[in-house]
Homo-oligomer: A and B are copies of this chain.
Amino acid sequence: MPRRVTLKEVATRSGVSYQTVSKVINGQVRVAAETEERIWQAVRELNYRPNYTARSLRAQRSFTIGYSWRPSPPEQANPILDTFLQSMFHAAEQRGYYLLCFPYHSDTQRQIESYRELMDTRRVDGFVLSGVEYNDPRVLFLLEQKFPFVAFGRSNPELRFPSIDVDGGHGLRLATEHLLAQGHRRIAALAWPEDSRVGNNRMEGYFTALHAAGITPPAEWIQRGEGRFAFGYQAATRLLQLPESMRPTAMVCLNDYMAVGAVKAVQDAGLMVGRQIAVTGFDDTPIAQYLTPPLTSVRQPVWEIGERLIALLLNILEAKNLATDYETILVQPELVIRASSQTLESGVFARKEVMSNP
């Protein structure tokens, strides 16, 4: 363990008081050019860096941001985690901050306790939340405590806090419109339960697009369940058993896992995905492009979201932007079109393109 260098040592070596060294380093005072040079030289020679702990004790700030997230089950990896984290780390580091990551606890009491601990011990200056739901206990707690935070995702409309969210409705609308353009008319949806805020936002785009095309989807087309492979498989199987007249020729799915399950079900039923039945996903899971056929999916601008969340939080912490109205900032996803959503009629099959957001 290397020896620690303090202000006092730099001061001794350059022959001034340690307070003067501090001021020179922070550019808070003008001293004789010669003195300044001596100080900087001592700093260089000793390789001095201000002790972060002492600095934050004095400043009453930790220059640290807390972040915790719900882990994905092992058989269903979070496709955006790595990018999201790195984008935040970069944005934070550029402004002298770091992220303190802490474990997720499924028990609500225990979870709030984690946040409280980090707040009360002054270990972090603010939090980033993700996966926000209706009446999210973390949101309610932090609002009540008036502790700074930003969120990836919205909650109840009446809860006002700084947040950024993907316009999931727009994403699903792009997917649905794309299928309509391919000639599909009977388009089903594999969705989450109605208590899912994210799910409801996304479904709006489905309804909007169908409505604009003069189509009213019957209840049977809306399959709701857990967003996993198994549910996708079951739901698609049910859809394929509907009577000919209302059997869908396309399915939009609220995430890629359901889509992969649906693809499998279609194939097991002896049909060809992309020819007889079109399927779209959501998230653009990395491996989705390597499936057979490659999966059409909606991609979120994850890096941008991470960067902007951090910028938003730091602006609040540094009070450059204190009491603005906290509207949710919506960012637009893009549709990545691959073979799973082509049809015989369309002619294109192996073509691959990206339909950008407006």
Contacts and interface: CB of A to CB of B under 8 A. Distances in A.
Contacts of A285: 77, 287
Q: Which of A4, A85, A103, A114 has the most CB of B within 10 A?
A: A103
The size bracket of the interface on A is 35 or more
Contact of A75 (B104, B286, B291): B286
Interface in A44-79: 47, 49-54, 56-57, 60, 62, 64, 68, 71-72, 74-79
B75 A77 contact: no
For the complex of A and B, list the 8 residue pairs with the smallest distance between their C-beta atoms, beginning with the closest: A89-B103, A52-B121, A49-B120, A77-B286, A52-B123, A53-B57, A90-B103, A71-B86
A277 to B, nearest CB: 15
A264 interface: yes
Given A52-B121, A82-B71, A264-B292, A98 B102 contact: yes
Contacts of A314: none
A103 B121 contact: no
Nearest to A294: B264
A53 B122 contact: yes
A77 B290 contact: no
Interface stretch (A132-140, A141-149, A192-200): A141-149
Interface in A24-39: none
A52 B267 CA distance: 57
A51 B118 CA distance: 10
A62 B52 CA distance: 9
Contacts of A78: 82
A118 B52 CA distance: 9
A1 interface: yes
Contacts of A47: 120
A348 to B, nearest CB: 19
B290 A261 contact: yes
Q: Which of A50, A122, A287 has the most CB of B within 10 A?
A: A287
A85 B89 CA distance: 15
Interface in A73-97: 74-79, 81-83, 85-86, 89-90, 93
Nearest to A302: B74
Given A2-B119, A75-B286, A261-B290, 10 more contacts: A1-B147, A51-B57, A53-B53, A71-B86, A77-B81, A77-B82, A77-B287, A93-B114, A99-B101, A257-B287
A117 B147 CA distance: 28
A52 B100 CA distance: 13
A104 B93 CA distance: 11
Contacts of A90: 103
A289 interface: yes
A260 interface: yes
29 contacts: A1-B146, A1-B148, A2-B120, A4-B122, A49-B117, A51-B57, A52-B122, A53-B57, A57-B57, A64-B100, A71-B86, A72-B286, A74-B286, A75-B286, A75-B289, A77-B81, A77-B285, A77-B287, A85-B101, A89-B104, A93-B103, A98-B100, A99-B101, A99-B102, A100-B100, A100-B101, A101-B101, A229-B290, A285-B287
